[in-house]
Each structure stands twice: as C-alpha cells, then as structure tokens.
Amino acid sequence: MRRITFLSVLTALSSTFYVLENLLPFPVPFGRWGFSNSVVLMIASEIGFGDALIVASAKSILGALFSGRFLSPSFLTGFFGAVSASLVESFLARFDFGYLSLSAMGSFVNNLVQLIVISFLVGSTKTFLLFPLMVILGLVSGTVNAFLASRMGGIVFENYSRFFFAQKKATDGVAGDRVRS
C-alpha cells in the first residue's frame, strides 16, 4: 500500500511537470525541457526497474490526457521515449554511475527512440538528420534534469524517509535497488 501511495504521489508530480513545462519557453523550436523525466530518473536510480516503468508510462498517459494530445504523434514519441529511457536508466543504475551520466544516456536513448517512432510515422529514415541537434539539446536539458533528480532524491530518501517508510529505513544494498516495500 505504501508503495502505491508513494508511486501515485510521484506520478502526480511528474504529470504536473509534464503539463506545466509547456508554459516555459525553450530557446529552440524543437524539443522541450522534459522536467517530468527527472522524477522518472530519480525512481529508476533509487528504487528500481518496475516502478520507473510504471511511473514513466503513467505520467505520459496522464500528462497527454491533461494537455489534450492523447494518441497524437507527440504523445506516441513521448510515451515510447520515456519508457525506453526509464529502462536504460534503471539498467545503468545497477553499475553505480552518477546522476549526470544516467540522465545523459536517458536523454540520448529517449531521442533515439523518438526518432525511430517518428520515422515509422513518416515512413522515411530521413528524419535521422535531426539526430545531432536533438542529442545536443538533450544533453543540455538532461544536465538540468540530473541536478533536479539529485536534489529530489536527497529530499525523499535522506531527510523524510521515515515519512514514507515508517518502519523500514532506506537501505544501501544493491545500487539501484534501494527500497523494497
């Protein structure tokens, strides 16, 4: 039960980010900040694979419903991108990398999968010419997201861990598999 509450609070936070970041301008017409992915990054690196997958898919679906773009091309790219990024991040978290490289690899795979989905939608591989631009933008926003996720992880797991997990304290077992509740 505690796990469900915890995950739903984080999903709500993440889908709120997803909707609100549309109001923030991004310096380049392509792309967005992707703040909602920082929540997914935090879960993938601190809790584990399954929970990150749940939150990533739930936040894409909920955020798309709230912003009125469900089943549109941008929803499809965002959904598959977020799911694959959460898979890669939770896999790399097992090998004790820092937040910065987890976020960079996450944004890299996110952009790659987005381009693959777009090339299926458009039916041509010419879309891969956008790849270098997207990766550079992804590194910028990925650094910001890594910073946000490291702050967030500190708040959730160090200071207030007893608020969420009354009996169990956060244990440092295997990296990337911190809490099982």
Partner 1 sequence: MRSFFRKKDVMLIILIFVVLIFSILASEKKGSKVVVQGRDFRKILSKPGTYDITENGRFLMKVEFDGNRVRVVESTCPLKLCVKTGWVGPGGTIICVPNEVIIFFEEKTDYDTVTW
Backbone Cα Rg of the chain: 16
User: Is residue 68 part of the contact set for partner 1 (CB under 8 A)?
Assistant: no
User: Toward partner 1, which CB reaches closer, 95 or 163?
Assistant: 95
Alpha-carbon span 181 to 2, nearest angstrom: 7
Determine the Cα–Cα distance for residues 160 and 181; give it in Å rounded to an integer: 16
Residue 30 contacts partner 1 per CB under 8 A = yes
Measure the CA–CA gap between 84 and 103, rounded to whole angstroms.
Answer: 13
**Binder of partner 1 out of 15, 90, 127, 145 (CB under 8 A):** 127
Region of 19-27, 56-64, 78-86, 128-136 interacting with partner 1 (CB under 8 A): 128-136
Within 10 Å of residue 168's Cβ, how many Cβ atoms?
13
Asked whether position 122 contacts partner 1 by CB under 8 A, the answer is yes
Q: Are 41 and 23 in contact (CB under 8 A)?
A: no
Contact residues for 129 (Cβ-Cβ < 8 A; gap 6+): none
C-alpha span between 139 and 133 (Å, rounded): 10
Smallest separation, CB 178 to partner 1 (Å): 9
Gap between the Cα atoms of 150 and 104, Å rounded: 14
> Binding mask 42-61 vs partner 1 (x if CB under 8 A, - otherwise)?
---xx---------------
Selected from 26, 66, 128, 164, the binder of partner 1 by CB under 8 A is 128
- For partner 1, the binding residue among 5, 22, 124, 171 (CB under 8 A) is 124
Tokens (6 digits) for 113: 């999968």
Tokens read off for 132: 């270098």
Q: How far is the CB of 105 from partner 1 (least distance, A)?
A: 6
Nearer to partner 1, 22 or 181 (CB): 22
The binding site for partner 1 (CB under 8 A) comprises 29-30, 45-46, 73-74, 92-93, 95-101, 104-105, 108, 118, 121-132, 135-136, 139, 146-147, 150, 153-154, 157-158, 175
